[in-house]
Amino acid sequence: MDLWQLSGLKIGKLIRDREITSVEVTQAFIHQIQKVNPDLNAMVKTRFEEALQEAEQADALLQKGKAPNSPYFGVPTSIKESFALKGMPNSGGLVARKNYYPKEDAVTVKRYRNAGLIPLGVTNVSELCMWMESDNKVYGRSNNPYDLSRTVGGSSGGEGAIVSAGGAPVGLGSDIGGSIRMPAFFNGIFGHKPTGGLVPSTGQFPTAENEALRMICTGPLVRFAEDLFPLLKILAGPDGVDPYCIDLDLQKKEVDYSTLTVVNIEDNGVTPVSAELRKSQQEVVYALKQLGARVIQAKPKALKHSFEIWSSFLNSATETSFATLMGNGKPINPVVELFRYFIGPSHHTLPAIVLSAIEVFPKLLPKRIQQMKQLGFELRQELEELMGENGIILFPSHSQVAPKHNQPVQRLSFDWVYTAIINAMEFPATQVPLGLNQEGLPLGVQVIGIRKNDALTIAVAEKLEEIFGGWVPPKKYFTNSNSREVVFT
């Protein structure tokens, strides 16, 4: 049975219809992880024995007719290591926390498990989840399934890689500056960053503080778009702990493309976008126009200040310094850590050390922070007026396809602001794969909506999957992948 080419929803139906058992499904995905993970280093701690026991329990309940009515009952999943999962490490890529094992699940992990999803293990992150390479001194670096010499993105990079390589039907990630969408883009899959506050952040390490809790978002990473909405419904809703969580009655949306407004923004006016990504985005514009959509070309001037707007929203809400997080409660000295990094040994990565060194500078300019926040509010209003209730924005997921390892830090890259600015806006955004380039690397685009319009961006993503084909299997891990006949063996 070709489990790799089935969505989580379809696998769940097979299990409920008793055409396959949860144990058989779980064994198949465990085998695939064992096959791909030596190359990828994406899943950093497994719970295979426990997962098989939970699958046996699921099958027993189904046999007795006592299984809950959940479309994902008995379906395996992967979980980002920054989420608390009982019995699994929850270091956030920080050496000082490498032996920390939570006693209970994060709220979103609990919601996945209550829906019948079975965690297979936890996946790699960047140190403290604040860089676009999933690399740290606890687990090392993860590699891209399309090209092992390239990044998987961060900080949900392990999730992006293991889901793309067929190690799990669906996954769970978080996103404060693109940490779902960049890995989804680089690894050729779908990822959804929800409306700010739609999904609670309780039980993550690290997490945001105060108003920035609306900037950090938890959402699904999947190979097939039809999994996005039902998983979002499982995750969404207040938990009584996260004070910024909103209550929204999510309903599936049918799109009338003759009334859809498509706002096409080709770049942010600062960081150039590669010709191949511009071409892909233009092909999406053309496809939606052919369906009857009204297309508007836009170049909001405030997007030139994307980094300052994002960092001003984050810094003004943050009380605990990044240096304090790095020291697990006691601030590190960035100069000392930089010396240790080059002389050795250091427990920290270079991007984390640099961030701890420069984080103080924005706070020295409080007036500038307020100016940038105000500009951010104005940008949000401008974009909302452009989209309207039945509109989307098409915007690059990044400036280029997945870079080579270390290239982002060598270039001092700020390209990730293409995703980060959307966190500051609190808009929902769905990363949509658009096939592969001539080098066999994934292309993609962000589909963005006004706040609380998650159902629209996901519905458009489903249509674009229908038109452009969605996820393309990494050839290295799927024999005869173009034939659509491969099975897990």
Can you tell me whether residue 202 is helix, strand or coil? coil
Instruction: For tokens 């050839």, name the residue.
Output: 475
Q: How confident is the model at residue 436 (pLDDT cuts 50, 70, 90)?
A: very high
pLDDT digits (tens, 9 = 90+) for 376-431: 999 999 999 999 999 999 999 999 999 999 999 988 788 999 999 999 999 999 99
- Residue 362, pLDDT > 90, answer no
Question: Which superfamily does CATH assign the domain made up of 3-312+365-483 to?
Answer: Amidase signature (AS) domain (3.90.1300.10)
Please give the Cα distance from 149 to 352 (Å, whole number): 22
Within 329-395, residue ranges assigned H as helices are 334-343, 350-358, 360-363, 366-387
Extract the tokens encoding 80. 């980002």
Please give the Cα distance from 164 to 186 (Å, whole number): 10
- Residue 192, pLDDT > 80, answer yes
Average pLDDT, the chain: 96
pLDDT reported for residue 487:
46
Q: Read off the DSSP letter of residue 205.
A: S
pLDDT reported for residue 270:
97
Can you tell me whether residue 8 is helix, strand or coil? helix
CB atoms within 10 A of CB 45: 18
- Residue 285, pLDDT > 50, answer yes
Q: Read off the DSSP letter of residue 287.
A: H
Instruction: For tokens 């006004």, name the residue.
Output: 450
Instruction: Give the rounded percent of residues in the chain with a pLDDT score beyond 90.
Output: 95
pLDDT reported for residue 489:
44
- Catalytic site residue from 22, 45, 78, 80: 80
Considering only CA atoms, which of 394, 396, 387 is closest in space to residue 450? 387
- Catalytic site residue from 126, 174, 179, 201: 179
Can you tell me whether residue 221 is helix, strand or coil? strand
What pTM, to 2 d.p., does this model score? 0.96
What is the average per-residue pLDDT within 136-155?
A: 98
pLDDT reported for residue 364:
82
179 noted as active-site residue:
yes
What is the average per-residue pLDDT within 40-63?
A: 98
- Catalytic site residue from 22, 126, 155, 356: 155
- Residue 483, pLDDT > 60, answer no
80 noted as active-site residue:
yes
Length of the chain: 489
Q: How confident is the model at residue 1 (pLDDT cuts 50, 70, 90)?
A: low
Instruction: For tokens 């491969």, name the residue.
Output: 486
What is the average per-residue pLDDT within 118-132?
A: 98
Q: How confident is the model at residue 2 (pLDDT cuts 50, 70, 90)?
A: confident
Q: How confident is the model at residue 53 (pLDDT cuts 50, 70, 90)?
A: very high
> For the chain, where do the domains classified as CATH 3.90.1300.10 start and end?
3-312+365-483
pLDDT digits (tens, 9 = 90+) for 200-250: 999 999 999 999 999 999 999 999 999 999 999 999 999 999 999 999 999
155 noted as active-site residue:
yes
